[in-house]
């Protein structure tokens, strides 16, 4: 890639649980170019949030991170001390969390919380930080911004709180924004507004964005590149067009059959389904992680780890033993679950 802001190679996260070691994230590699939006999509428990937290080095104590390469704008983040890492958090790399009520401190005014990041990272006066906060609150569409600075989080609605979170993440013009399910707690109308805003601002400030979500609709509309995650692994990566128009991994294909689409799926008819449940990630798994639920499973899936392979197109990769041709024909075949 031309100008990668973030490069990650072979990221692994192991969590100690009473029954053994849980491999929450396994050999995840990706890079994000300047100004690019990468969406990581997957179901609950697949390791998307752990991936984001491990980039920020915010993992719980019981989790161990192993990574071959982790650079932000050319700077190695692997061996940084906690203090150095906190210089980066909120400055070069900022995070937007899912639940704006729990990620804002109820005891401080939003002005206080907005200014904090800037006062911590930049040599500015309180007045300058306040001006920046007002500027950004207006940018995210909050009216009477200056008077809002004295308000507390409970005085704002969910949509407004999430706007404050976005403004907060932009305080130091980060090179990379990590947004973990930023709209899941919001109404559809507000969700559309927030995503619209996020796309616009990302453009304006030329930040890169990693958006984590379980909603395929959001992914299709927002992403430049998509990574589909299943049971701790990236099972398919590519541009939004590649992944949605020619999904190659059986899991991606199954997911896309599961969702009702107004105008496309027929009303009242059965939707596709992925039978079975997500495998237990405790202990070593030496086979395709999706094998237990895959409609095309055969012997080759059970032996050894499955490598990523390229499809017909450039930069479109998927983790399956089937050939690109076989995957394309699977897409046409209707699976009876």
Partner 1 sequence: MSDSIIEVSDVTRTFMISAGFMRGKKSLHAVNGVSLNVERGEVLGIVGESGCGKTTLAKMMLGLLEPTSGTLRLDGQAVGSADRIQVARILQPIFQDPYSSLNPRKSIGDIITLPLKVQNDPNPETWQSRAEGIMDLVGLPSRVFNNFPSQLSGGQRQRVAIARALINRPKIVICDEPTSALDVSVQSQILNLLQDLRAEFGLTYVLISHNLAVVEHMATRVAVMYLGRIVEQADTETLFKAPKHPYTEALLGSVLTPEPGLGVPDTHLGVAYPNPIDPPSGCTFHPRCAKVMDHCSKQAPPTIGANDAMVECHLYADGAGKKARGKRARKGKRK
List residues binding partner 1 (CB under 8 A).
43-44, 141-143, 157-160, 163, 187-193, 195-196, 199, 214-223, 239-241, 243-245, 254-265, 267-268, 270-275, 277
Q: In 251-279, which positions are buried (b, 16+ CB within 10 angstroms) versus exposed (e)? A: bbbbbbbeeeeeeeeeeeeeebebeeebb
Which CB atom, from 78 or from 196, has the smaller least distance to partner 1?
196
Closer to partner 1 at the Cβ: 61 or 266? 266
- Residue placing its CB nearer to partner 1 in the complex, 131 or 138: 138
Q: How far is the CB of 235 from partner 1 (least distance, A)?
A: 14
Q: How far is the CB of 294 from partner 1 (least distance, A)?
A: 13
- Minimum separation from the CB atom of position 319 to partner 1 (A): 18
CA atoms within 13 A on the CB side of 50: 29
CB of 66 to partner 1, least distance (A): 28
Give me the least distance between CB of 242 and partner 1, in Å please: 9
What's the CA gap between 238 and 241, in Å, rounded?
Answer: 8
Give the distance between the most distant pair of CA atoms in the chain.
67
Question: Considering beta carbons, is residue 121 or 202 the nearer one to partner 1?
Answer: 202
Written as one string, the DSSP assignment of 73-117 is TTEE-TT--HHHHHHHBTTTEEEE-S-HHHHS-TTS-HHHHHHHH
Q: What SS3 class is residue 206?
A: coil
Q: Name the minimum Å distance from CB 151 to partner 1.
A: 14
Pair type for strands 4-17 and 63-66: antiparallel
Q: Which lies closer to partner 1 via its Cβ, residue 54 or residue 183?
A: 183
**CB closer to partner 1 out of 172 and 243:** 243
Q: Minimum distance between the CB of residue 274 and partner 1, rounded to whole angstroms?
A: 4
Indicate the burial class of 103 (C-beta count within 10 angstroms; 0-12, 13-18, 19 or more): middle
Q: Is 74 exposed, middle or buried (0-12, 13-18, 19+ CB in 10 A)?
A: exposed
Q: Which is nearer to partner 1, 27 or 252 (CB)?
A: 252
- Give whole-number Cα distances, 63 to 18, 51, 56, 83, 189, in Å: 13, 11, 13, 19, 37
- Residues 6 or more apart in contact with residue 131 via CB below 8 angstroms: none
């Amino acid at each position: 890639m031309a100008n990668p802001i973030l490069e990650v190679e072979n990221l692994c996260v192991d969590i100690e649980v009473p029954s053994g070691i849980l491999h929450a994230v396994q050999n995840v590699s990706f890079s994000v170019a300047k100004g690019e939006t990468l969406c990581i999509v997957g179901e609950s428990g697949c390791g998307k949030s752990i991936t984001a937290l491990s980039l920020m080095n915010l993992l719980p104590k019981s989790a161990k991170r192993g990574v071959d390469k982790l650079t932000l704008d050319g700077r190695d983040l692997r061996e940084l001390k906690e203090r150095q890492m906190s210089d980066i958090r909120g400055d070069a790399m900022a995070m937007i969390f899912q639940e704006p009520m729990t990620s804002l401190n109820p005891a401080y005014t939003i002005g206080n919380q907005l200014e904090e990041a800037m006062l911590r990272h930049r040599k500015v006066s309180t007045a300058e930080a306040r001006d920046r906060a007002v500027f950004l609150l207006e940018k995210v569409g909050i009216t009477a911004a200056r008077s809002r600075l004295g308000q507390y989080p409970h005085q704002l609605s969910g949509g407004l709180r999430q706007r404050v979170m976005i403004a907060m993440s932009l305080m130091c013009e980060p090179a990379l924004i990590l947004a973990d399910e930023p709209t899941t707690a919001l109404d559809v109308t507000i969700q559309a507004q927030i995503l619209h805003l996020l796309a616009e601002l990302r453009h304006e400030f030329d930040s890169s964005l990693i958006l984590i979500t379980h909603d395929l609709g959001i992914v299709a509309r927002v992403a430049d590149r998509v990574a589909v995650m299943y049971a701790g692994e990236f099972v398919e990566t590519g541009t939004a067009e590649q992944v949605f128009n020619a999904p190659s991994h059986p899991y991606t294909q199954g997911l896309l059959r599961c969702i009702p689409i107004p105008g496309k799926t027929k009303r009242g008819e059965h939707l596709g389904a992925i039978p079975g449940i997500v495998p237990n990630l405790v202990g070593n798994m030496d086979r395709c992680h999706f094998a237990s639920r895959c409609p095309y499973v055969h012997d080759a899936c059970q032996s050894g780890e499955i490598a990523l392979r390229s499809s017909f197109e450039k930069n479109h990769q998927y983790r399956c033993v089937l050939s690109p041709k076989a995957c394309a024909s699977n897409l046409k075949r209707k699976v009876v679950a």
